[in-house]
Structure 1
């Protein structure tokens, strides 16, 4: 269950005779998830054979409650089926063979295999009342008919179409798309000595809608002594756009800062995308590397691991800004058919580089035979930078580069999640019955960029920084028996919240905290009791 923005009584989205004080629309979803996995393992001679098949399907169905279709005025329903929603099904079959040669060098393992995958993505339409815009005669509005008039609010604005919070999927939004892919790989891992290992792998894939790709991975580990090891690797990658990103289409109410808009998400294959110059989606490609070190300090019963990494992704798929019709009559007509005032798409808009370092320190103190004290410090420092923005020439020539990918979108990718995270945890175990757990989690600063139309001169961009916070969790556990354990505790012990958003961006008091950048949740402290059973 989820809720949207509170609809205020002075908005065109609120038919006041139905909701005199406004209303809070609700999304009641029905989620289905099913999977079946089967497999056979065996051997032929010295070769290990593994055949497996995994099938899964999930669905997300929408039912909207405590809402209204404002264009229907007094005839509005307060609940509607917004559509069969989405469903996605995938079947993956794998065949793998491997063999270990223990007498070759210090050990040699060879593996190869095949994979075949099929995918299906489906969207079904909702009830007519959930998506349509009605005229004052109670019929579906025809924008080409001058006698078809839509009801207006106090200020003369047309009442928007569709059930509020999630207008239903229209028949033209329905999707039933399939694709398949086949892949083959070869992997070799060689222990040249007891202290030096190297592995290499290559994978070929063919997608029915994207063609071929070949990727590789190289990795190595060197054990300097019993307490010190080094490792490193480099790999290329490929990700085909999902069927969802290619074919998803709907119209929904999106609040851009404090202004509600009916934004149509048009499929990347649509006529609207071609008119505006949005390029067809293509695969993302990546190249990454990592180096690491593992050290043991026996005298302190401590282990330290440090890993550094860098990943470059080209043609990363992101969600664009919202485009208007720019006076194009064909676009205006297509927007009207979708009950949308603007259009957004998934596009291969940016190239990014992510680099970082992970540090983990584990320490265990055995106080006596019955009492042990384990401490773990984990810290992550990461940074994502946009190296280039891939703007189609048609969009650049039309002066719409900032609409395609603006500063707000850049900040969302680069700074909307903490670049620094860490936690320090302590676990005190007393005998076979009691354990006490304490964790302090650190969430670094984040930045939100918001566009605010402060004057007739246009959009003013604002950056807001939200400071670092520490969250404390505490719990105590007791083993009632060999199969039952009771745990009582509290998360966010000191009831810490993120910094509040600036007053201008609280949507008339409906949102106190940022909706775009958060280090952690806004529910504050909560206390729990948990009873676990382990069947043996």
Structure 2
């Protein structure tokens, strides 16, 4: 125990000057009297991390690897209600995009630590592996294409004691997914007290009204335990940063009815009935053993916009001149009459018309041409009913814009016991035995669309099916200090882990995937925009793996510490892997130490990535088309270059220093992460007619209207390097106490190997979409009855991209945003706060119409903006603490 006591004493010393990167500290900071000093020491002892070590907890300045600690109170000092945004404002190396019109990525937004995809960061809850979300980001903005990370947004800040962010590769310690680092969410464990908070805000534009009600209470659980419970309820209205599309405006001018004022919305989705409940229970069983249990139930409904279906050009619904992949005009199905075929092959675009009597009668239907003003010939449209023919221009003359949404359910439960052996050969050893089950389900909905093949009988709303992710973990960990006559005990830890992952696809309602009577007449199958999962698509896919690890930390002298971790992991699908981590720290003086690590790592492909298939709508060269995502072992995928997925492999190293000068605390760390065989979604590959015939024979829905295919692949390698710099200073100022924090991150990713399967545009997105430079400068001020903070956020240049289309890309300018909050403490229990994010309403980069001509899709800003496209947001909140 000598080593642990020395470590904690050193942690208390460093904690007096240690805060986390880019954060603001509130409460009792640097008070004059002795009691305040004691309070401050006790509070800042919480700046000690469990993550990154299996020895005694370490202060963030005494760790051989870079760690940020974000206190739960600090997280509450922000106007945002989304955990992803809270972390983005605190950790410069973390980026989160708003992801408008991004398929399922709008439902569970991915986050990027150190420029790597969301599933390259391992998420822990109270030190236990958190299950991943069921959502796979099929349209993930390049970097996250195909990523399947955990759903962080379900975790409410009011439930958290602190967040520990390990900015270093840690696969040898924790297993798959820890290539970029680890984020450990630590739940509150108080047995008394609590708080209740109401928050209301909206954007400067007058939309996006957000209401959040949250609470936390600590209760005794017998005389020797605690039960800490938290809840959060939230609703958020949608936002729109759009203008009318020019094609829709032209149709309205031509007299086409029912054209919406804004036909395509770019903005945040609507979030309704977002409820999260978290519980954390602990009980002392004996003087040497404890029982623990924690978990959550969360659910929310999300609904957002999609692409506008123009009533003259959408293939498979409205028609127009239809061409094959070679650009040759195609005849209308059933047109055996040469005269009729000549009419079809004319350059004049036409409306897709069906015979309600069937395929053989289609030749008798009028051919509806588009006039010079772009509108269909109304007289011809009016004549369709008399001829028992049908076109969607009759029922939806102004086109339509599907709304895509989902119901996201997330739940988990961990039960375990930990303690110290008091006898036998393991006397003095610490143990931790636990089991965890986590479940996430995303049930999809698409509204205001059609199954075109059903014609006039099509419903407008569909449930295309659902994905679910079930994970089970069992862990057995041991740790013991041994006296090898070094400065302190050598800590040796070892453990076993068993993990099972199941990904399930459930078919949708029949109308969402059925091939209706108009299929043979050229009309598309399935709910347009997101065809439902057929029974043949449904299935349950399971993979199991087990692991064994050993972790050694040896303090050779009081100044020099080294650690070594080895991990063996075996999967029942692709075999085994062995990974290592070597880390060290050396105190040059009492105030200066250097640290570094070198490690190997891996990320296993998820079961979903290996087996999922889907049809999605996306833009290709500015044209709206249907694209099929196939398993990499599908015959068509194999024909186009797909192979069975293998794990990613990584090598990473860091080197840095920690320096304390009086009340100034400085850290600087360089990192380099090389990832080989990265798993991602391929470029969307154009299909030939022979490819389509093969797909149709394999049962892929809506095959003749498919233009492209993609699949998951290990196709490229990257090298990511960067520097993290943190400086903190605490002093008395202006009659109160002040804390200043400066944090800066430089990050650069280079694609070192790729093929045409990845594609040049995706390479550009991987290398350029995220800003290379990020920084925050914050000032927190505390008086007796007031507190305030202000934070400046710097975002360097980045690649602006619109509608995932390479022709729109340009380099966007750097920008600075400001956040501020003022709090008045009415008494010890009640406080009121007002504040704003993006206080000066810094606009995102506006579209450059020299590269995005005519604003064809109605956007105003590049959606890759690292600070979002919605502008300033103001809020007020009231807090009751007891």
Query: Per the shorter chain, which TM-score range?
Result: 0.7 to 0.9
Q: 1:184 aligns with which of 545, 548, 558?
A: 548
Distance in 1 (alpha carbons) for counterparts of 2:689 and 2:652? 44
Distance in 2 (alpha carbons) for counterparts of 1:452 and 1:27? 18
Q: 2:730 aligns with which of 364, 372, 380?
A: 364
State the match for 1:489 in structure 2.
835
2:526–2:701 contact (8 Å) kept in structure 1: no
Other structure's SS at 2:767 match? helix
CA offset at residue 78 of structure 1? 1.1
Distance in 2 (alpha carbons) for counterparts of 1:80 and 1:21? 21
Distance in 2 (alpha carbons) for counterparts of 1:170 and 1:443? 44
Query: Within 5 Å, which residues of 2 pair with 1:77-476?
Result: 77-83=459-465, 85-101=466-482, 104-107=485-488, 108-136=490-518, 141=519, 148-150=520-522, 159-298=523-662, 301-328=663-690, 330-334=693-697, 337-340=700-703, 341=706, 342-367=708-733, 371-389=736-754, 391=755, 401=756, 404-431=757-784, 433-448=785-800, 463-476=809-822
Other structure's SS at 1:60 match? strand
1:92–1:118 contact (8 Å) kept in structure 2: yes
2:633–2:642 contact (8 Å) kept in structure 1: no
User: Deviations along 1:474-507, whole A, 9 cap, x unmatched?
Assistant: 1112344545543211111111122122333675
2:418 is the alignment partner of 1:41: yes
1:247–1:468: structure 2 CA closer, same or farther, 3 Å change rule? same
State the match for 2:395 in structure 1.
18
Distance in 1 (alpha carbons) for counterparts of 2:649 and 2:830? 48
User: Deviations along 1:49-102, whole A, 9 cap, x unmatched?
Assistant: 11011110000001222222233332221111111x110010111000001236
Distance in 2 (alpha carbons) for counterparts of 1:80 and 1:327? 30
Distance in 2 (alpha carbons) for counterparts of 1:102 and 1:202? 21
CA offset at residue 510 of structure 1? 1.9
Other structure's SS at 1:225 match? coil
1:315–1:349 contact (8 Å) kept in structure 2: yes
1:533–1:18: structure 2 CA closer, same or farther, 3 Å change rule? farther
Structure number with the bigger relative contact order (C-alpha 8 A, sep ≥ 6) is 2
Distance in 2 (alpha carbons) for counterparts of 1:444 and 1:135? 54
1:187–1:26: structure 2 CA closer, same or farther, 3 Å change rule? same
1:452–1:411: structure 2 CA closer, same or farther, 3 Å change rule? closer
Task: Report the more deviating stretch, 87-96 or 266-275.
Answer: 266-275
CA offset at residue 373 of structure 1? 1.2
User: Deviations along 1:429-471, whole A, 9 cap, x unmatched?
Assistant: 112x321010111111112468999xxxxxx956411111111
Task: Report the more deviating stretch, 162-171 or 327-336.
Answer: 327-336
Other structure's SS at 1:337 match? coil
Other structure's SS at 1:501 match? coil
State the match for 2:94 in structure 1.
none
User: Deviations along 1:169-192, whole A, 9 cap, x unmatched?
Assistant: 122221310010000000110111
1:257–1:451 contact (8 Å) kept in structure 2: no
Distance in 2 (alpha carbons) for counterparts of 1:485 and 1:452? 45
User: Deviations along 1:129-156, whole A, 9 cap, x unmatched?
Assistant: 21234333xxxx3xxxxxx323xxxxxx
CA offset at residue 533 of structure 1? 4.8
State the match for 2:433 in structure 1.
51
The number of equivalent residue pairs is 493
State the match for 1:523 in structure 2.
870
2:439–2:471 contact (8 Å) kept in structure 1: yes
State the match for 1:156 in structure 2.
none
Distance in 2 (alpha carbons) for counterparts of 1:218 and 1:337? 49
1:466–1:498 contact (8 Å) kept in structure 2: no
Other structure's SS at 1:72 match? helix
TM-score (normalised: structure 1): 0.87
Other structure's SS at 2:643 match? coil
CA offset at residue 308 of structure 1? 0.3
CA offset at residue 28 of structure 1? 3.0
Other structure's SS at 1:110 match? strand
Task: Report the more deviating stretch, 204-213 or 273-282.
Answer: 273-282
User: Deviations along 1:278-297, whole A, 9 cap, x unmatched?
Assistant: 12111100000000111111
CA offset at residue 328 of structure 1? 2.6
State the match for 1:155 in structure 2.
none
1:531–1:9: structure 2 CA closer, same or farther, 3 Å change rule? farther
Q: Which has the higher strand share?
A: 1
Distance in 1 (alpha carbons) for counterparts of 2:778 and 2:675? 34
Task: Report the more deviating stretch, 236-245 or 8-17.
Answer: 8-17
TM-score (normalised: structure 2): 0.54
State the match for 1:394 in structure 2.
none
User: Deviations along 1:184-231, whole A, 9 cap, x unmatched?
Assistant: 000110111111100001000000101010000000001111111100
CA offset at residue 382 of structure 1? 0.5
State the match for 2:30 in structure 1.
none
Distance in 2 (alpha carbons) for counterparts of 1:491 and 1:322? 37
2:513–2:701 contact (8 Å) kept in structure 1: no
Task: Report the more deviating stretch, 476-485 or 51-60.
Answer: 476-485
Distance in 2 (alpha carbons) for counterparts of 1:356 and 1:423? 16
2:418–2:432 contact (8 Å) kept in structure 1: yes
1:478–1:452: structure 2 CA closer, same or farther, 3 Å change rule? closer
State the match for 2:862 in structure 1.
514
Other structure's SS at 2:684 match? coil
Q: Which has the higher helix share?
A: 2
Task: Report the more deviating stretch, 350-359 or 483-492.
Answer: 483-492
State the match for 1:500 in structure 2.
846
- Runs of 4+ aligned structure 1 residues displaced above 6 Å come to 449-453
Distance in 2 (alpha carbons) for counterparts of 1:254 and 1:524? 26
Distance in 2 (alpha carbons) for counterparts of 1:179 and 1:497? 46
Other structure's SS at 2:766 match? helix
1:264–1:338 contact (8 Å) kept in structure 2: no
Distance in 1 (alpha carbons) for counterparts of 2:645 and 2:411? 30
CA offset at residue 236 of structure 1? 0.3
State the match for 1:397 in structure 2.
none
Distance in 2 (alpha carbons) for counterparts of 1:255 and 1:383? 28
1:411–1:449 contact (8 Å) kept in structure 2: no
